[in-house]
Amino acid sequence: MTNVKALRGRDFITLMDYTTEEVKYLLGLSRDFKSRYYQGDRYSDALRGRTLLMIFEKPSTRTRVSLDVAATQLGMHVIYSNPQELQLGRGETIADTARVVDRFVDAIAARVYKHESLVEMARYAVAPVINALSDQEHPLQALADALTLWEVKGRLDGLRVAFVGDGDNNIAHSLMVIGAKLGWEVRIISPRKYWPTKFMESLTEDLRRTGANIIISDNTEDARGVDAVYTDVWVSMGMEAEAEERRKIFRPYQVNSELMRVAGPQAIFMHCLPAHRGEEVTDDVIDGPQSVVWDQAENRLHTSKAVLISLLT
């Protein structure tokens, strides 16, 4: 069992930097936090006197609120800012900003357009840097996804998950990473233009070590028999200029009642939210009995607590 002190001071930029045992530790701690939450132990002084700075280049609901509430319930003070409220908005470099705020705060959570911005921030800040979403990965979401699957399916091993839609986006990448760590079969079902072929190269060692399998297909029939069908928006933030083209390309990959029928009655439906209803998913699926999207959203709180407590104690 991984000791929590082994994670102290680490950055949380990508789950590729974490071992299978460390990922399982974070998930077990998340489950413990959730259990205590419903038993009435909602507040703790474990991180009293610590400060979390959140820098968000993009809008956010679940990530911003879950991190804020998690930090507050652990006793932290939270500062929220966008780059325009900092000197970043007037041309100060990421390196200089990181050097300065590192003298004031205990952790930095950043939602950025470019993954390289997180890497740069971590290079110059001693305080842990937490990826609150980048164009490459969303590891906080991946932890909540795995916790949800564990709760619903009763296991973490041997899971089969189909991601349908844009196979080369940050959510698909993160699902591939955590699947590689935990030995899952992840099926990326996407138009060929959006296959994550290059990203797969970074997962070779984990796939070999855990026996995980990543299947890439352009055929929605390959969702048959999975434990979960996962999708995300077709037009992510920053891609608005491609909106119409993407809607046409991805239309055959909509998660609707027919696709869920192909997947089977055992398949749950997952979405990181926000959902563009009527595009990547229909109302009857996201609001239907196979949907676990609200559990996924709630689990962002408990996994955020696990990450904060592990990096800061």
pLDDT tens across 210-250, in order?
A: 999 999 999 999 999 999 999 999 987 777 888 999 999 99
Q: Which of 141, 254, 290, 296 is catalytic?
A: 141
271 and 307 share one domain: no
pLDDT at 272 over 80: yes
125 and 11 share one domain: yes
Q: Which of 50, 115, 138, 271 is catalytic?
A: 138
The model's pTM: 0.96
Per-residue pLDDT of 98-117, as tens digits, reads 999 999 999 999 999 999 99
Measured at the CA of 9, the angle between CA 8 and CA 11, to 5 degrees, comes to 115
290 and 224 share one domain: yes
As a whole number of angstroms, the distance between CA 264 and CA 281 comes to 16
Report residue 301: phi and psi, to 5°. -65, -50
pLDDT at 186 over 70: yes
Question: Under a CB-based contact definition with an 8 Å cutoff, are residues 138 and 111 in contact?
Answer: no
- The residues, ordered by sequence, that sit 6+ positions from 116 with a Cβ below 8 Å of its Cβ are none
Q: Is 272 known to be catalytic?
A: yes
Return the CATH number at 161.
3.40.50.1370
Q: Which domain holds residue 200?
A: 142-296
128 and 33 share one domain: yes
pLDDT at 278 over 80: yes
> What's the pLDDT score for residue 3?
58
> What's the pLDDT score for residue 81?
96
103 and 177 share one domain: no
248 and 192 share one domain: yes
> What's the pLDDT score for residue 39?
87
Binning the chain into helix, strand and coil, the percentages to the nearest 5 are 50, 15, 35
Q: Is 261 known to be catalytic?
A: no
Q: Is 50 known to be catalytic?
A: no
Nearest residue to 287 via CA among 260, 251, 305, 309: 260
69 and 22 share one domain: yes
Mean pLDDT computed over 125-140: 98
As a whole number of angstroms, the distance between CA 281 and CA 220 comes to 14
Residue 39 to residues 32, 33, 42, 177, Cα–Cα distance (Å) = 11, 10, 8, 32
15 and 33 share one domain: yes
Mean pLDDT computed over 163-171: 97
Q: How many residues are present in the chain? A: 313
pLDDT at 53 over 60: yes
> What's the pLDDT score for residue 236?
79
Q: Which of 68, 115, 272, 290 is catalytic?
A: 272
Per-residue pLDDT of 133-165, as tens digits, reads 999 999 999 999 999 999 999 999 999 999 999
Question: Under a CB-based contact definition with an 8 Å cutoff, are residues 107 and 53 in contact?
Answer: yes
Upper half-sphere CA count for residue 55 (Cβ side, 13 Å): 24
Q: Which of 50, 62, 64, 111 is catalytic?
A: 111
Confidence of residue 34 (pLDDT cuts 50, 70, 90): very high
Confidence of residue 42 (pLDDT cuts 50, 70, 90): confident
189 and 290 share one domain: yes
The total number of structural domains in the chain stands at: 2
Confidence of residue 11 (pLDDT cuts 50, 70, 90): very high
Pair of tokens at residue 147? 């916790």
Confidence of residue 43 (pLDDT cuts 50, 70, 90): confident
Q: Among residues of the chain, what percentage have pLDDT more than 70?
A: 98
- The residues, ordered by sequence, that sit 6+ positions from 138 with a Cβ below 8 Å of its Cβ are 131, 170, 171, 174, 272
Q: Is 48 known to be catalytic?
A: no
292 and 305 share one domain: no
Mean pLDDT computed over 274-281: 98
125 and 83 share one domain: yes
Q: Which of 62, 187, 246, 300 is catalytic?
A: 300
> What's the pLDDT score for residue 247?
95
116 and 165 share one domain: no
State the burial class of residue 308 (Cβ atoms within 10 Å of its Cβ: 0-12, 13-18, 19+). Answer: buried
Q: Which of 145, 222, 227, 232 is catalytic?
A: 232
As a whole number of angstroms, the distance between CA 95 and CA 18 comes to 24
- The residues, ordered by sequence, that sit 6+ positions from 270 with a Cβ below 8 Å of its Cβ are 145, 148, 161, 228, 229, 230, 231, 292, 293, 296
How high does pLDDT run on average in the chain? 96
> What's the pLDDT score for residue 2?
57
Pair of tokens at residue 180? 């590689």
